[in-house]
Structure 1
């Protein structure tokens, strides 16, 4: 009995040493990219009509590879697969594969196959760092988003009060004003398309719009970028410190 147990441990150890190599990780990334290409080709009606069967077969092959890789990881790490430091990424991979099988069973959900592309995030360490940084900034992002929403709402009400009478298509109601302000925030045709026509009727309207862009489009949004960059630096420094140890 002990010899059988030792054989299983040895097999598990060998498999673990294989799936933790860079070559294995690169191979999985290559399969993900190949699967992404297949999903893109499937959007072409002409290619789908000529090679639909082949594309579906290759797509199924990719799913089989993902499933085998997931089973091997669970076999190697056992319960630790769902409890170690990478547990959330492991659970993410598990859900992606599970959803892919559900999509096969129900044709209406076949578009969910595209979720497999998201496995690229968990397979590329650099992407994982970025996602970890974004998740870490959620508390700060909520505060900045609340501040952004206050400015957004205040300027929406002001625009309705000031410009609704002459420009009802842009500022006739609060929802319309908020949507127009969102367009201005993205800087898409904000000057020639919206602000200059308004200024022809209301010469001092530039004060409202320029102050809005400075507060919302520059300061608040740059705060979000700054928080994410700071989080990235902290995570990178933490990883470097752990590697030095």
Structure 2
């Protein structure tokens, strides 16, 4: 019954909102610590708030682990919370001082606490296979375009097309839509028909392939919205304990009768 009550506490809306508030305050505090002025004026206060937030996170994680038992680790979001808090508990003295910068990862716990954010992340994970295929297609497109552009514009003396490496970097920049008009105008002084290559490359690369990336992500998000999210292991464990407690009460009533 103690575990059941602890589980009810950590799963309650008020407790969840309290933890979300602590995460937001802690994220603001970590950002304020990067300011030299604020560090001089309120350094001890910021450190106290940071330690207090870490203590609350450790208590909340321990309570959830106690309520759910080893089933706690069946939920990937619980594992994520555990890793983030565990990293924050590691001493940051000596060679481990680099871990101090990883404290900001605690702000990412907000993703695990807010269901709408979790759905967005789940949709991104669902879209990874499609994004990998499109990334391969984009790499192939840039490589083919780089070889063609090197042969077409390598003799112009433009350092952006002086070899395959600079050409690939230039085409990747063009794919993102950055400064392609300046590159085109510079080339057209010596290659009047350079616009043909750029027109074909922009239509295939920027307008088609990059929009396919957006389409894959949108499709995954649509699937995530239509498919109901599975219940967490802690929620199932709480229901199971409540059913067992109810059975014990019914059995006790029958014995007394």
| TM-score, reference length from structure 2 | 0.84
Structure 2 residues not aligned, in runs of 5+:
232-257
Distance 2:183 2:172 in 1: 12
Q: SS at 1:63's partner residue?
A: helix
CA radius of gyration, larger in? 2
Give 1:83-232 correspondences, 5 Å limit. 83=74, 87-102=75-90, 104-105=92-93, 106-191=96-181, 193-232=182-221
Aligned length: 229
User: Residues 139-169 of structure 1: CA distance to partner in whole angstroms, max 9, x if unpaired?
Assistant: 2111111111110111111121111222442
Q: SS at 1:187's partner residue?
A: coil
Alignment-derived partner of residue 235 in structure 2: none
Change (3 A) 1:167 1:27: farther
Distance 2:195 2:18 in 1: 56
Alignment-derived partner of residue 6 in structure 1: none
Alignment-derived partner of residue 37 in structure 1: 28
Q: SS at 1:203's partner residue?
A: coil
Give the root-mean-square deviation of aligned CA atoms. Answer: 1.8
Q: SS at 2:78's partner residue?
A: helix
- Quote how far apart the aligned CAs of 1:208 are: 1.5
Structure 1 residues not aligned, in runs of 5+:
1-9
Q: Does residue 54 of structure 2 align to residue 66 of structure 1?
A: no
Alignment-derived partner of residue 4 in structure 1: none
Change (3 A) 1:177 1:240: same
- Quote how far apart the aligned CAs of 1:102 are: 2.3
Alignment-derived partner of residue 17 in structure 2: 26
- Quote how far apart the aligned CAs of 1:18 are: 1.8
- Quote how far apart the aligned CAs of 1:129 are: 0.6
| TM-score, reference length from structure 1 | 0.88
Larger RCO: Structure 1 or Structure 2 (Cα < 8 Å, ≥ 6 residues apart)? Answer: 2
Distance 1:201 1:102 in 2: 61
